[in-house]
A and B are shown apart, each in its own frame.
Chain A
């Protein structure tokens, strides 16, 4: 199914521009064109289809659903909703506050907040197309676990004491009220017709694509550079054994780097193809996506420094552990393929 993109790239780079497949430049450019066109095509189709399905899901319904749920189930649902909701990080704070005002425990809200940038439906489909079902399931399970355990941990240390005061008060009010006023909440509940869904899907597609395409170009560009210019086998030779220090190093390296989950996937693909162990790759990519300064600056409005710092360290430790565990289990994972 994807051969067409490779053929197009070959036509453009080797045919039209006359570069040779033997040179590093030709090879890298071919990879670049092929991957960019493939990903753009996949994105347009997938975002549209998913948005079509997602048209009747709104955040108010999610909040109503989560309010009053038992903690164990709550963490799972919180993380699950984080996966299927879109990733505009400017909405994550209003959503955070909305959940908090409904009395939803901080841990559940955090499960949602942690998984939301890490996993989204577009990233999942992209991962499936590029790296296969097994790896995709791995990524989702790991991402959700980090979200759930993170939420559980934060509740255990009673992290809600470190919310900014207005948020903390909203939480108390919400818990006393015992949930959400269903009359107000139900206001958005009429089902949408197909033309309405199409309109929503079209808008979402153009909007998300408009935000993400630059990341894809950068991500694939980096991947292509890796592909063409890092000597074959260098990564494999120096980092391929999953030396213990390479995981924390990867996590630290990911911090100042920021990418949308979608944009980091081409880089992930390149790293893995070049022999970087799965654990190290996961650690690096998750750190890049989740530990982002813009998001943390926004979170500062609702969290005190201490909570922000805890969250930050929580994520770093989690990703490092993920990296180590997966490096250790790689032989087992590969052999059962």
Chain B
């Protein structure tokens, strides 16, 4: 099962990103585990400088904006 982490300190865009990821996963019927990472030290560890960012199975796939449904669909 894919582990998807959404990095962001809790602003609206970051929350919406997490919701959208879950929604796309539900639509595709794929089971995933979503984690919201808000702690700065952890976000820094991924070398991410602009949030929201998305990490799939420990690989940073997107950063700096809310991803589109199509983009998310590619990762799931």
Interface residues of A (CB under 8 A from B): 58-60, 63, 88-91, 93-95, 97-98, 101, 166, 170, 184, 203, 207, 298, 301-302
Are B51 and A90 in contact, with the CB atoms below 8 A?
Answer: yes
Closest to A294 in B: B11
Closest to A185 in B: B47
Instruction: Pick the contact of B44: A58, A89, A170, A184 (CB < 8 A).
Output: A170
Measured in the bound complex, the distance between the Cα atoms of B3 and A169 in whole Å is 29
Given contacts A59-B50, A184-B47, is CB(A90)–CB(B8) below 8 Å?
Answer: yes
Interface residues of B (CB under 8 A from A): 8-11, 13-14, 40-41, 43-44, 47-51, 64-66
Q: Which residues of A contact B66 (CB under 8 A)?
A: 207
Given contacts A88-B11, A166-B41, A301-B40, is CB(A94)–CB(B65) below 8 Å?
Answer: no
Q: Is the interface of B mostly helix, strand, loop or mixed?
A: loop
Q: Which residues of B contact A88 (CB under 8 A)?
A: 11, 13
Measured in the bound complex, the distance between the Cα atoms of B9 and A97 in whole Å is 13
Number of A-B contacts (CB under 8 A): 56
A-B residue pairs in contact (CB < 8 Å), sample of 25: A59-B64, A88-B11, A90-B11, A90-B13, A90-B51, A91-B50, A91-B64, A93-B40, A94-B44, A94-B48, A94-B49, A94-B50, A95-B50, A97-B49, A98-B44, A98-B47, A98-B48, A98-B49, A101-B44, A166-B44, A170-B44, A184-B47, A203-B65, A207-B66, A301-B40
Are A58 and B64 in contact, with the CB atoms below 8 A?
Answer: yes
Closest to B53 in A: A94
Closest to B10 in A: A90
Q: Which 7 A-B pairs have the closest CB atoms?
A: A98-B49, A90-B11, A97-B44, A166-B41, A59-B49, A91-B50, A301-B40
